[in-house]
Amino acid sequence: MDRAKPFDIPKREVWEAYKKVRANQGAAGVDGQSIADFEADLSNNLYKIWNRMSSGSYFPPPVRRVDIPKGETGGTRPLGIPTVADRVAQMVVKRVLEPLVEPHFHDDSYGYRPGKSALDAVGAARQRCWRYALDLDIKAFFDSIETNLLMRAVRKHTDCPWVLLYIERWLKAPVQMPDGSLAVRERGTPQGGVVSPALANLFLHYAFDVWMHRNHPGIPFERYADDGVPRTHWQRWQCGAAHEMRGGPSKPAVRGRLQTASSCIGQEPVW
């Protein structure tokens, strides 16, 4: 380790992160640099990422916003596309964070998790086939996550200073709109970021999964990111739960767009 560097980030981690990003491919960010362009000066580009992250001087560039069609439902979904270099930096952090949070996640959380898929969620739903089901889709979830609560959840699982530092910087990175203007973000984590799925799952672990286990322990559910299907034999529960999830009791609560999870974060998972 270079003694002048405050953070001990092995160069090998940056290399492994790059290989993951290369395998995933993806579009260029605000700098217009493709993966092929990045690889044209690969050694120097990876060194710059390692050098800046290790010294604490890495600041993420703006995220390029792209609106994609939602398909049959109509409308568009905003995606945030980081630069290739930023995706590598995010992957370095994800490789540290994900193994720390994964063991705590609920078995019926299926979205963006190693070894789980949407087909697994559908299979579990078919096996259960209860009489009533509540179809949940959290509106604009990735853009609505409360940053302070999210960081509170992250700190519950790691005290690694550089992981915390860079996650906070990514949460504050501006968004470049299609017209080229920059928008300041006060909440949310861009859907499309490398580390965003792990952060979103961590938030919903406390805001929904733990909440369901404590308030409705007899009600099974399947959740894929911000879509969920709790199920029950009783229509009365279905109606009451829908009201509660939209803004009912607040300790713990899932109010509005799940912006409050403070009564769950900081307590141990109970399964």
pLDDT, tens digit (0-9, with 9 covering 90-100), for 192-237: 899 999 999 999 998 888 888 888 888 888 888 888 888 765 555 4
pLDDT of residue 92: 98
Long-range contacts at 152-156 (CB < 8 A, ≥ 24 apart): 152/262, 152/265, 152/266, 153/202, 153/203, 153/205, 153/206, 153/261, 153/265, 154/97, 154/199, 154/202, 156/265, 156/266
- Select from 194, 175, 195 the least CA-distant residue to 185: 175
Whether the Cβ atoms of residue 89 and residue 166 lie closer than 8 Å to each other? yes
What's the whole-model pTM score?
0.83
**Element of type H or E holding 80:** strand 76-81
Residues making up the chain, counted from first to last: 271
Q: Can you tell me the distance from the alpha carbon of 170 to that of 189, in angstroms, rounded to the nearest whole number?
A: 8
CA angle 62, 65, 71 (to 5 degrees): 160
| In the predicted structure, residue 44 carries a pLDDT above the cut 70 | yes
Q: Would the pLDDT of 22 be above 80?
A: yes
